[in-house]
């Protein structure tokens, strides 16, 4: 279970119903993968951005992902900002929600 805080002005809140967090439930034994070709066609993500998008689905922090990929956290944060701009998302929770629609079981 991955929980992410939401800002008060998120797209999940409706009138008096304030959504404060979003949860993503996944089976850790069930691996998923993103179709990089589809992400490139839909959002013009670079190969490096596709790799980061795939890693974000693990629920790990940018710091953990940076160690795994051998890249600096600042590099990944720059890539994440580019992904936000290309996918018209503003937060990691929004992005993960979008990416799960593209995820396929392996």
* pLDDT given at position 63: 95
Q: Which is higher by pLDDT, 106 or 40?
A: 40
- Region 62-67: mean pLDDT is 96
Q: Which of 41, 37, 45 is nearest to 80 (CA)?
A: 45
User: In what helix (H) or strand (E) does residue 73 lie, and over which residues does it extend?
Assistant: helix 73-87
pLDDT interval class at 52 (50, 70, 90): very high
Q: Is 55 helix (H, G, I), strand (E, B) or coil?
A: helix
* pLDDT given at position 9: 74
Q: How do residues 72-90 score in pLDDT, each as one tens digit?
A: 999 999 999 999 999 999 9
* pLDDT given at position 2: 65
Q: How do residues 21-48 score in pLDDT, each as one tens digit?
A: 877 666 666 778 888 888 898 899 999 9
* pLDDT given at position 3: 72
Share of the chain above pLDDT 70, in %: 91
**How distant, in Å, are the alpha carbons of 12, 23, 24, 37, 65 from that of 45?**
26, 25, 23, 9, 18
């Amino acid at each position: 279970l991955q929980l992410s805080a939401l800002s008060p002005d998120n797209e999940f809140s409706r009138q008096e119903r304030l959504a404060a967090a979003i949860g993503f439930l996944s089976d850790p034994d069930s691996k998923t993968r993103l179709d990089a070709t589809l992400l490139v066609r839909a959002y013009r993500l670079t190969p490096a951005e596709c790799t980061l998008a795939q890693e974000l689905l693990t629920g790990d922090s940018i710091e953990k992902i940076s160690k795994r990929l051998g890249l600096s956290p600042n590099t990944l944060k720059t890539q994440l900002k580019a992904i936000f701009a290309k996918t018209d998302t503003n937060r990691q929770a929004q992005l993960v929600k979008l990416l799960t629609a593209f995820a396929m079981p392996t």
